[in-house]
Amino acid sequence: MELIADLEKIEQNSDEIHERFYRDLEFGTAGLRGILGAGTNRMNIYTVRLATQGLANFLNKRYKNPSVAISHDSRHKSRLFTEESARVLAANGIKVFISRELEPTPVLSFCVRELKCNAGIMITASHNPAIYNGYKCYGEDGCQMTDHAAGEVYNEISKLDCFKDVKLCSFDEALNSGTIDYIKEETYEAYLQNVLSQTVNKDICKDAGLSVVYTPLNGTGNILVREALKRINVNDIKIVKEQELPDGNFPTCPYPNPEIPSTMNLGLELARQTGADLLLATDPDADRVGIAAKDKNGEYRLFSGNETGILLTNYILMSRKELGNLPQNPIIVKTIVTSILIDRICKKYGCERRNVLTGFKYIGDQILRLEQVNEENRFVFGFEESSGYLAGTYVRDKDAVVASMLICEMAAFYKKQNKNLPEIIDELYAEYGYYLNTTLNFEFDGASGLEKMTSIMTELRENPPKAIANIKVVALADYLKSQELNVLTGETEKIDLPSSNVIAFSLEDGGSAIVRPSGTEPKIKLYITSVGKEKSDAEEKANLIASNMEKFIGV
């Protein structure tokens, strides 16, 4: 009835009808993600059932007696979509393990591996606004589905009619028969034990006197983040009450993304009131974490995703080398749009740095490759600039629970030396140079927006700039063509990564500008790296590069 009422509202609105029905919500490597509502280009029970029937057909062709784990976050319709997915799978003879309550995305990744499932489904739209929901699909390794597998599922979906071809059964009957089973508490405890095993300086928090403000942003992190911190003896934790309980409306932060400074406002207010050393904020599905820390003047400094990753990389490598438990030939994995300062830290500690495409599944894939040759212990840490981090190999997605634990441990370690995180990041900049990373988003909504984004990327490929902000372009990497051109010599080199719609311009002074359409939202993202001796130098360059690139993008 709700969907019928939704359709009746737009009966006379041709533009809205077009937006909702001009295409099917496309199933890709990120699964589905879209605005809630009626229409083939919206998230609703019919698009969810259709995707799940396609997944069921794919699994039944590939496996004998397949099984799937399903969980969800705090968004509107998340529980409904979880149960509808389970009904379709069970009707197709597929065993389903389902969470009783909402859980973080990394827990779903763990459950797929722990329960030896052939796939996983996480109902979430991560940090998108409240009008969105999504459907993330995982492979049997606990990593988001590969391009090839997602393509096969999409082919299965394309053959189906959402009304005629979808099998459904009663949820309660499937539960009674055992085709659907609730995930047991011991599985969640096993996950938590794996998180705790990633501690670097054991018991460092016990007498450090670290004080923390934490906000789960009305999402899924509340129970597990607090339990992990409690178990490493971080006992002084204040919770942002307005953002403590699950609420799909996200009433205090329309964009529940810890990368956005305004999202941290309530947490910063409480930190100032209590004098906390550290503020942690996890996004609704608890796979990302943002932080702020108090400096020596009592002011709070927000850290970018890159800066937190730089701090953690340096802390983990330094500590494990001092403790003598850094593995032989250690590996740090980062995405191509993540800070290149990591390269210099890795070099200092004799660590290999691997670059992968944007998307944590590519970091997970590197762990799988190591696992296949019995070298998974070489993986030390992986991260992407958008506040996603992972230590350990127990999951294959970014994990805000383990990241929150390690951030607190790191803050306690330095507090015992009478230092704070702002001091440490400044010391690293003094040692290596100021690497400023700036991300800009340009939104292109609707059908016309998709066409505009395609046109922009085509124009950048066919007529690339020779200089950006009067700084010469020395290399042009086109990840769609898997080719990098050395502009100075004219020589080309193959890029040994999967094809992706990304263009990277390397600049003569060591900076860069990288352009890519988002895989989950109607926007083009611009990643700028500017390098200076001091912050002011880097900021000036970043502003000039941004202004120049805006002209090329046409905004």
Active site residues: 126
Query: Are the CB atoms for 32 and 47 separated by under 8 Å?
Result: yes
Element (H, E) at 215: strand 211-215
Q: Which amino acid is at 110?
A: F
Reduced to 3 states (helix: H, G, I; strand: E, B; else coil), residue 94 is coil
Tell me the pairing of strands 434-443 and 523-532: antiparallel
Reduced to 3 states (helix: H, G, I; strand: E, B; else coil), residue 337 is coil
Q: How many CB atoms lie within 10 A of CB 469?
A: 21
DSSP labels, 109-173: HHHHHHTT-SEEEEE--TTS-TTEEEEEEE-TTSSBPPHHHHHHHHHHHHT--TTTS-----HHH
Instruction: Give the whole-angstrom CA distance, residue 189 versus residue 218.
Output: 23
Query: Are the CB atoms for 118 and 56 separated by under 8 Å?
Result: no
Of 140, 99, 106, the C-alpha closest to 120 is: 140
Show the tokens assigned to 340: 């290149």
Sheet arrangement for strand 32-35 = 32-35, 132-138, 119-123, 67-72, 95-98, 180-182
DSSP 24: P
